[in-house]
Amino acid sequence: MKKIEYAPIGIIHSPFKEPIGIPIQAAVAKDYKGTIEIFPEFEKGLKDLENFSHIFLIFHFHLSKKGKLLAKPYMDTKERGIFSIRGPSRPNPIGLSIVRLLKIEKNILYIQDVDIVDGTPLLDIKPYIPEFDNRDVQKIGWLKKNIHKLPDTSDDGRFKK
In a domain, 59, yes or no: yes
pLDDT of residue 10 exceeding 80, the answer is yes
Q: Residue 32 and residue 49: Cα distance in Å, rounded?
A: 21
Pick the range with the lowest mean pLDDT from 2-6, 63-67, 79-83, 157-161. 157-161
In a domain, 125, yes or no: yes
In a domain, 119, yes or no: yes
| Model pLDDT, residue 46 | 98
Interior angle at CA 20, CA 107 and CA 143, nearest 5:
95
In a domain, 83, yes or no: yes
In a domain, 157, yes or no: no
Domains identified in the chain, total number: 1
Q: Which of 37, 32, 55, 46 is nearest to 112 (CA)?
A: 32
> Which pTM value belongs to this model?
0.82
36 CB-contact burial (10 Å; exposed 0-12 / middle 13-18 / buried 19+):
buried
CATH number at residue 131: 2.40.30.70
pLDDT of residue 149 exceeding 60, the answer is no
In a domain, 70, yes or no: yes
In a domain, 160, yes or no: no
Better-scored residue on pLDDT, 96 or 147: 96
In a domain, 116, yes or no: yes
For 52, the domain range is 10-152
Q: Residue 18 and residue 146: Cα distance in Å, rounded?
A: 25
pLDDT of residue 120 exceeding 90, the answer is yes
